Amino acid sequence: MSSLAAPRAPISTCAVAVDTALLTIRDGQLRLLLIEPEPSALRGWWALPGRRVRDDESLDDTAHRSLSELAGITAPGAHLEQLRTYGDPSRDPRGRVVSVAYLALTPFADDPVDPGRARLFDVGELGATGGPQLAYDHERIVTDALERARAKLEYTSLATAFVPEEFTLADLRRVYEAVWGVPLDPANFRRKVVSTPGFVVESDKTASPGPGGGRPAKVYRRGSATHLHPAMLRP
């Protein structure tokens, strides 16, 4: 976009990286994928999986690669969206790195994680003492990722990215409860979900009850809607 012909300061370039905040749900709790950056680095420091952008690679491709190379996650059905770009000149002590952060969501069914130094942390531990210390400005990225996820559950069908192909309304409700951190009324949640056009479609199957018993639930699949009208507002 240069327009002036006068001799300018030499055109400089930046290192561009992608850092991915992957969220999933385990045991009813929202969890975040973190990795130990280097074995030689300080113990107890954790970071988001990140990779440098290659010359012929789109940003989305780099995000996928950061998950596959650093955590062995190749889930093709995972939701992936750009979050925000962090470019403060002093955000990385090793030099100027502009980082495009991504938000990734996977269903809670996929167990195969942790091929190396990756781990899933309960997001409740993050700010607390004893929790992982985050490197660089990754704590801020995580804060933004959580807020994005919480907000988009309200007005999009993003919650279905956390559940497998077939799910019950209780599964979906536990997603909202885990991400928002508040309990929801099962009956009202059900009324809201089924009355929102295109959110979920009922299948003819029924799920088997849990270990404690209880009435079997109907099985649903994702609907075609991406935006919810009206929105499901946080209590």
Residue 19: exposure state from Cβ atoms within 10 A (0-12, 13-18, ≥19): buried
Q: At what angle do helices 186-195 and 169-180 cross, to 10 degrees?
A: 110
If binding is defined by CB under 7 A, does position 195 make contact with DNA?
Answer: yes
Are the C-beta atoms of residues 145 and 83 closer than 8 Å to each other? yes
Residues 6+ apart with CB under 8 A from 7: none
- 84 φ, ψ to 5°? 180, 160
SS3 assignment, position 75:
coil
Of 35-43, 80-88, 155-163, 187-195, which segment contacts DNA by CB under 7 A? 187-195
Q: Which residues bind a second copy (CB under 8 A)?
A: 1-3, 9, 11-17, 19, 37-38, 47, 50-59, 65, 68-69, 82, 84-85, 87-89, 96, 98, 100, 230-231, 233
When CB distances are held under 5 to 8 angstroms depending on the partner's kind, the choice from DNA, a second copy, none that residue 163 binds is none
If binding is defined by CB under 7 A, does position 185 make contact with DNA?
Answer: yes
When CB distances are held under 5 to 8 angstroms depending on the partner's kind, the choice from DNA, a second copy, none that residue 93 binds is none
Token digits for 51?
């990779």
User: Shortest distance, CB of residue 103 to DNA, whole angstroms?
Assistant: 25
User: Shortest distance, CB of residue 157 to DNA, whole angstroms?
Assistant: 14
When CB distances are held under 5 to 8 angstroms depending on the partner's kind, the choice from DNA, a second copy, none that residue 226 binds is none
When CB distances are held under 5 to 8 angstroms depending on the partner's kind, the choice from a second copy, DNA, none that residue 111 binds is none
Half-sphere exposure of 229 (CA within 13 A, CB side): 6
SS3 assignment, position 107:
coil
Among 127, 210, 226, 227, binds DNA (CB under 7 A): 210
DSSP 199: S
Q: Which is nearer to a second copy, 18 or 163 (CB)?
A: 18
How many amino acids of this chain bind DNA (CB under 7 A)?
Answer: 29
